[in-house]
Structure 1
């Protein structure tokens, strides 16, 4: 559905998705292929890094809580 919306050049900035769709592949597709921003809930057992430097150093948001 998202691919069709982007191909039809619908005007929107953000994609709101449930935690069911919160995967690295989906986030990369939304941000890089569609050029949109996203809001997604994440499960408590997931690790999220805010930058490449944080990821390389092994820092994640779950470590900061």
Structure 2
């Protein structure tokens, strides 16, 4: 079960970051975050952290 936590958290961060990005860019309507530039900046940063966690989780799983 090595690496599952990092993989799960990384996947969650990538998905959340993508949603925040499209909300910040104004592609999603009916949200308080829609059109707010800060979410268009925070979203990709969170997605990048998620990709790092996915990479780390995959590396630790290769030892199994």
Q: Please give the TM-score of this superposition, normalised by the length of structure 1.
A: 0.26
Give the structure, 1 or 2, with the largest relative contact order (CA under 8 Å, sep 6 or more): 2
Higher helix share: 2
Higher strand share: 1
